[in-house]
Amino acid sequence: MTYTLGETIYWKLRDDEAIVHVAYSLATGYRIYPVKMPDNVVYPAISFQFIGGASRIHTMGSDTGNPSGTRLQISAWAETLTEARALQELVRLEMQDTTGTYAGGVTFQRIFTESEPIELYSDSAEVYQVIRDYLIWV
């Protein structure tokens, strides 16, 4: 079975024991969501989305058609800032400097941690969000 890049990211996060220890329960299952979290989500949770498609490698005379990298944004959500920071750190440890072939046959040349965390608070949801960007070379 061949996976999309998003499916591979989901499985990569889901296969990390430390992340699952925080973002899983028998009642709610895995709380790792591509693009949109469901209503009434239980925290802590993770969401991720691709922000900007893969750029392409160009030569002076043409577009080679080869992708160079894709930017991925992963958010850690929790009811306390301490929990959100800790979950984001687990995500960083799992993602940073990844190489090799993973679920569904996707081969990572390398995943780079692209940004320092950004910390936000949602008054309406009463939850903290810690965001970090990653650059993925496949």
Is the link from the previous residue into 38 a cis peptide, with omega within 30 of 0?
Answer: no
- pLDDT higher than 60, residue 54: no
Spell out the domains of the chain, with CATH numbers in brackets: 5-57+65-137 (3.30.2000.10)
Instruction: Identify the residue with better confidence: 60 or 88.
Output: 88
- pLDDT higher than 80, residue 117: yes
Note the pTM of the prediction, 2 decimals. 0.88
Q: Band the pLDDT of 2: cuts 50, 70, 90.
A: confident
**Orientation angle between helical segments 81-95 and 5-14, nearest 10 degrees:** 110
Helix (H, G, I), strand (E, B) or coil at 39: coil
Across the chain, mean pLDDT equals 90
